[in-house]
Amino acid sequence: MGEFGLRAGRADVRSAGPITFGPAGILFLADNAAAKVFAVDVADLGPADESGPFDLENVDALVGSFLGCEPSDVVIRDMAVHPLSHNVYLSVQRGRGDAAQPVLVRIGRLDGSITDVPLDDVPVAEVAIGDAPAGDDERLDITLPLGDEGEELQVGERTIRILRQPIRTSTVTDMAYVNGALLVAGLSNEEFSSRLRRIPFPFSDAATGSSLEIFHVSHGKWETTAPIRTFVPYDGGASILASYTCTPVVHFPLADLQDGAKAVGRTVAELGAVNQPLDMVSFVQDGQEYLLVANSAHGLVKIACRDIDAQSPLTEPQQPVGVPRETKDLQGIRRLANLGDNHVLLLQADNAGRQHLRSVKTASL
Amino acid sequence: MTEVSWSRLGGGDCIRLTGLPAGAVVQVRPGPAATGGGLPPMAGQLVRDGADLCFVPRFAFLDGTAYTVTVEGATAVTLVRARPDRTATTEITDIRPTAAEVPCNLLRLYVWFSAPMSEGCAAGDVRLADDGGDTIPGALLPGEHELWDTSRRRLTVLLDPARIKRGLAGHREAGYPLRPGKPFRLVVDSGFRDAQGLPLRAGAQRRYKVGGEERRHVDPASWLLTVPPAGTSEPVQVAFGRPLDHGLLARCLHVAGPGGELIHGAPQISHGEQAWQLVPRRAWASGSHQLIVDPVLEDLAGNSVSRVFDRDLSCPNDEPRQARPVMVPFRPR
């Protein structure tokens, strides 16, 4: 793992966030509390690919039992499938408040066994992702505290209490590894912007990567930005399809993301009102690449990549809006992951809130 | 006869089993006995302590959770981890903005708590309601990502941007969540849990009147400055003419002295977020000062110094402005 800059140590993860696999089975974990991304060798050497389905009912209860907590104390923040072993990885926050603890859970592909992945004394690297204030911006995070925290400051004849703490935070909403770089989408707790950070991997001490704002145009009339909720590389990593918190689906070539340049993506679809995109995955069916989008309200949407490439930017409101799409009658899908070439794995919540892992054949989608 | 009880071993909590037959298989699962079927045992180690056997969990026992111990597959006992008897002390200390009236395309509110909070409550315990007390459906951005500051005392509440941005399906089909002339309240229910798992001492709400759309840039050139006399520590005061975002105001305004050095002092945001002032730590020098405005500074509707929330491509006024800090000069008299 030396070639990727990983060194034996502890991944001091404070909170469970999005996860995604990179090269050589390295798992990237976003830690929003610490404003870091960790790269961890999860030492998953096999077994070799099994091409069959994989289903596990009540995965929240199973994981909760292993972790010693009720299913309601299992918050599954993300899911990823190891590219070779096809073991399933869950980024889990166990418990709430001060008792909350991040755990990386591995579910055995062959037997459904549940283990936690050690994060101590493992090959690891990390990179900071916070919007760190500049060196001379000492005052940026000073506020007048509401309680008795902070430090006292003498101003003239008055004593004022000030508090220095990072108020501004950035929450990673999704990540993907593409061609030697980790792409990280985030949501600020203050300004409203669309930031896609590109962090070269192996991580370097010198640079935390470039940060780009991707605009999109609605109906040829309004140009805007919004935080990216979820995105997926496709076309061998040449293209990105991103879905925003305000639901447009926007295409942009990765080559457009030059540092400092204004990037304008092409709006190719909208996913409908009072709806949030939750996750995306690409898969191949009959030699053609397709995208699946999981939504909070509108089921699972399937879009053909060739239709995206052929779709001119949306210039007029239409119904349905944008590229042709099929909506699968699968409700409660929260996360998606490729399970080999022949299946897509779904994390699905039922009406009672119980969560299940279910695989569907790509041929049937 | 096996006795099972909460205990301690090596500085940590454990479940102690006394009088156990040699070689017995012991497992622990969360929940009452009836729920255990098919569930894996809780991760942990069985450690011999004299004549006793101790189950030391890999993940700490959680307060308020029941744990069922089985010996040789048969339920021995269910122990409930007691929740410490504490009374609720956490309060809501502030809801921002404090402006009496907000635009109908309001984007963001902040809720301040007196102590660190638990995640996972915002979707259920924070809502917008009309004057009749009815929840305004679909007004807030749904989602899994709660936006907290590092100390988990300030929660950022976003209205659904799809209903505010023009041209999008959300706006076309459902319109603004807020209507001019129709007051509303941000309501935080007392069930919101603090980091100790306790509810709030009381819920809280703030009522707002609703005005028209706000679609203009934040324009520092239009601000009114009250300039202090040189040699005094009176504040420099800045009036914006309309409310700006409380969170961004706290970090987007600075003052530089004649030599370009930052003037340290105590900044303060006015009630209503329409003004800001800085009381300097040292008396003002004479000479040219600069108010430095970070162009990300936004108003209540997400319009910033550098760009409007959604730009009408046919409107020249909507064109993006400089992305560098804006300087507003002033000279203490």
> Which residues in A108-130 are b (16+ Cβ under 10 Å) and which e?
bbeebebebbebeebbbbbbebb
The pLDDT assigned to B172 comes to 76
State the Cα–Cα distance between residues A32 and A185, nearest whole angstrom.
Answer: 12
pLDDT at residue number A259: 63
pTM, two decimals, is 0.91
What pLDDT is stored for residue A297 in this prediction? 81
What pLDDT score was predicted for residue A78?
97
Going by pLDDT thresholds of 50, 70 and 90, the confidence category of residue A141 is very low
Report residue B262's pLDDT band, with 50, 70 and 90 as the boundaries.
very high
What topology does CATH give the domain B3-80?
Immunoglobulin-like (2.60.40)
Contact across the interface for B63 and A99, Cβ inside 8 Å: yes
Q: Say if the Cβ atoms of B59 and A218 lie within 8 Å.
A: no
DSSP secondary structure, A153-175, as one string: EEETTEEEEEEE-----EEEEEE
Please report the pLDDT score of residue B170 as a whole number: 75
Is the CB of residue B280 less than 8 Å away from at least one CB of chain A?
yes
Confidence of residue B98 (pLDDT cuts 50, 70, 90): very high
B244's tokens: 């700006």
Q: Average pLDDT, stretch A299-307?
A: 90
What are the chain B neighbours of A16 within 8 Å (beta carbons)?
none
H-assigned helices in chain A: 59-67, 305-310
H or E stretch at B160: none
Q: What is the mean predicted confidence (pLDDT) over A155-162?
A: 70
**A65–chain B Cβ distance below 8 A for any pair:** yes
Check whether A165 has a pLDDT greater than 70.
Answer: no
Q: Cα A213–A173–A164 angle (5° rounding)? A: 80
* Interface residue A228 vs chain B (CB under 8 A): no
Q: Name which residue leads in pLDDT, B44 or A253.
A: B44
- CATH second-level architecture of B220-330? Sandwich (2.60)
- Residue A210 is which amino acid? S
Say whether A191 and B149 touch across the interface (CB within 8 A): no
B3-80 against B220-330: fold identical:
yes
pLDDT at site A188:
86
When computed from its CA atoms, the radius of gyration of chain A, rounded to whole angstroms, is 21
Fold exhibited by the domain B92-211: Immunoglobulin-like (2.60.40)
Instruction: Measure in Å the smallest separation between the Cα of B23 and chain A Cα atoms.
Output: 22
Structural contact between residues B66 and B80, judged by C-beta atoms closer than 8 angstroms:
yes
Please, are residues A7 and A123 in contact by the beta-carbon 8 Å criterion?
Answer: yes
The pLDDT, as a whole number, for residue B31 is: 93
Tell whether the model's pLDDT for residue A30 goes beyond 90.
Answer: yes
Q: Is pLDDT above 70 for A187?
A: yes
Give residue limits of the domains in chain B. 3-80, 92-211, 220-330
Per-window interface: B 284-313 vs A, CB < 8 A: 296, 298, 302, 304, 307, 309-313
Identity of the residue numbered B201: R
Q: Is B223 on the interface with A (CB under 8 A)?
A: no
Residue B27: both structure tokens together: 């497992």
Structure tokens at B20: 């156990």
DSSP structure string for A288-340: EEEEEEEESSS-EEEEEHHHHHHPPPP-S--SS-BS--EEES---EEEEEEET
Minimal Cα–Cα distance from B202 to chain A, Å?
A: 17
H or E element, residue A66: helix A59-67
Whole-number average pLDDT of chain A: 84
Chain A to chain B, count of Cβ pairs less than 8 Å apart?
A: 239
C-alpha B186/C-alpha B164 separation (Å) is 17
Q: Is the pLDDT of residue A191 over 90?
A: no
Name the amino acid, one letter, at A146: L
Cα B159 versus chain centre, distance? 14
**Structure token digits, residue B91:** 């309060």
What digits encode the pLDDT tens for the residues A194-241? 778 889 999 986 545 666 777 777 666 777 778 888 999 998 988 899
- Chain B contact present for A205, CB below 8 A: no
Residue B306, amino acid:
S
What is the mean predicted confidence (pLDDT) over A289-316?
83
Q: Is B199 on the interface with A (CB under 8 A)?
A: no
**Residues B262, A139: C-beta atoms closer than 8 Å:** yes
Residue A321 binned pLDDT confidence (cut-offs 50, 70, 90): low
The residue to which tokens 């990885």 are assigned:
A89
Mutate to test the interface with B, among A167, A228, A347 (most CBs of B within 10 A): A167
Provide the pLDDT confidence category of residue A139 given band limits of 50, 70 and 90: very low
The pLDDT assigned to A314 comes to: 61
Considering only A269-278, B49-58, B96-105, B114-123, which range has the smallest mean pLDDT? A269-278
A211 touches chain B (CB under 8 A): no
Distance, C-alpha B171 to centroid of its chain:
26
Position A164 scores a pLDDT of 59
Can you give the pLDDT at residue B312?
Answer: 87
Residues of chain A with pLDDT > 90, as a percent, come to 50
| Average pLDDT, integer, range A325-331 | 83
Contact A168 B141 (CB under 8 A): no
- Show residues of chain B in contact with A223, CB under 8 Å: 310-311, 313
Q: Quick one: pLDDT at residue A266? A: 82
User: CA-to-CA distance for B98 and B209, rounded, in angstroms?
Assistant: 11
Residue B27, pLDDT score? 95
Arithmetic mean of pLDDT, A286-293: 93
Q: Report the b/e string of A45-54 with b at 16+ CB within 10 A.
A: eeeeeeeeeb
> Is A73 in contact with B193 (Cβ distance < 8 A)?
no
Question: What share of chain B has pLDDT > 70, as a percent?
Answer: 99
Please report the pLDDT score of residue A264 as a whole number: 78
Q: Which of A29-43, A265-279, B222-236 has the lowest mean pLDDT?
A: A265-279
Q: What is the mean pLDDT of residues A96-113?
A: 94
Name the minimum distance, in Å, from the CA of A4 to any CA of chain B. 30
Q: Give the separation between CA B326 and CA B274, rounded to whole angstroms.
A: 18
Would you state the torsion angle of the CA atoms of residues B213, B216, B217, B218, taken in this order, to the nearest 10 degrees?
A: -70
Chain A residues inside the 8 Å CB shell of B167: 218-219, 221-222, 317
SS3 B172: helix
In the predicted model, what is the mean pLDDT of residues A300-312?
Answer: 86
* Interatomic CA distance for residues A40 and A127, integer angstroms: 12
**Who contacts A64 (Cβ-Cβ below 8 Å, separation ≥6)?**
A70, A71, A73, A74, B30
Q: pLDDT band for A45, please (50, 70, 90 cuts).
A: confident
B59: contact with A, CB 8 A cutoff: yes
- Higher-pLDDT residue of A315 and A182 is A182
Q: Closest approach of chain A CAs to the CA of B121, in angstroms?
A: 10
Flag whether residue A362 sits within 8 Å of chain B, measured between CB atoms: no
Contact A66 B42 (CB under 8 A): yes
Is the distance from CB of B128 to CB of B82 less than 8 angstroms?
no
* More reliable by pLDDT, B103 or A199: B103
Higher-confidence position of B207 and A137: B207
What's the mean pLDDT in B317-328? 89
Of B43, B67, B195, nearest to A66 by CB-CB distance is B43
B-chain CB neighbours of A95 within 8 Å are: 62
Q: Tell me which amino acid residue A152 is.
A: E
Classified as helix, coil or strand, A14 is coil
Band of residue A322 on the pLDDT scale cut at 50, 70, 90:
confident
pLDDT at B187 over 70: yes
In eight-state DSSP terms, residue A255 is: G
**Alpha carbon separation from A53 to A59, A109, A360 (Å, rounded):** 16, 9, 7
Helices (H) and strands (E) in chain B, counts: 3, 23
User: Among all chains, which residue has been given the structure tokens 């054949």?
Assistant: A361
Interface contact A175, partner B, CB < 8 A: no
**CA-to-CA distance for B244 and B299, rounded, in angstroms?**
4
Q: What is the pLDDT of residue B35?
A: 67
